Amino acid sequence: MLNCPISHGIVNPSGKVNKDKINLVSGAVTPPFAEMVWLSSGGDAETINRLTSILVSMNTPNEREALFRLIQMLYGLLGLKLSKEASLMAGSDEALEYFAHSFIIDFGEVMHEYFAESTQKKERLLPPFHKGDATPVMSKYN
């Protein structure tokens, strides 16, 4: 009983999922996952969009368990340990459905923040250019 969704407050004794608890769990496990995806991919938009597409397309009743196993596997490959509470989501179809939805939304939000920060950093690195400011560069090879 200690390793079931009810004992961890993920599912109420009545069988109803505790969406607040699931949101907390998702909110705790998604940012480190997203950070490692960002770092591992070098912030490559194509790779991140491909992963996001896979996560979204697998979030169906028939593939949700495989999606969860994929998340667990990726979590491990990225050197992370999925929390016990997150691992228990697979014990309830409703909890898993809401967790997968929350995880995908949270992942998208974190990635959006990373892309925005990356764009802002690039803009800060580029000096402003005004017409007429260009000075010809002379080299010893001219």
Q: Would you state the pLDDT for residue 138? A: 46
Question: What share of the chain in percent tops pLDDT 70?
Answer: 79
Q: Would you state the pLDDT for residue 142? A: 45
Between 136 and 14, name the one with better pLDDT: 14
Q: Would you state the pLDDT for residue 1? A: 41
Q: What confidence tier does 123 reach under pLDDT thresholds 50, 70, 90?
A: low
Q: Would you state the pLDDT for residue 2? A: 46
| For residue 139, pLDDT beyond 90 | no
| For residue 47, pLDDT beyond 80 | yes
Between 129 and 123, name the one with better pLDDT: 123
Domain ranges of the chain: 20-113
Structure tokens given for 13: 């004794």
Low-confidence winner among 17-31, 83-97, 114-128 (lowest mean pLDDT): 114-128
Give how far Cα 60 sits from Cα of 16, 34, 65, 76, Å: 20, 21, 9, 23
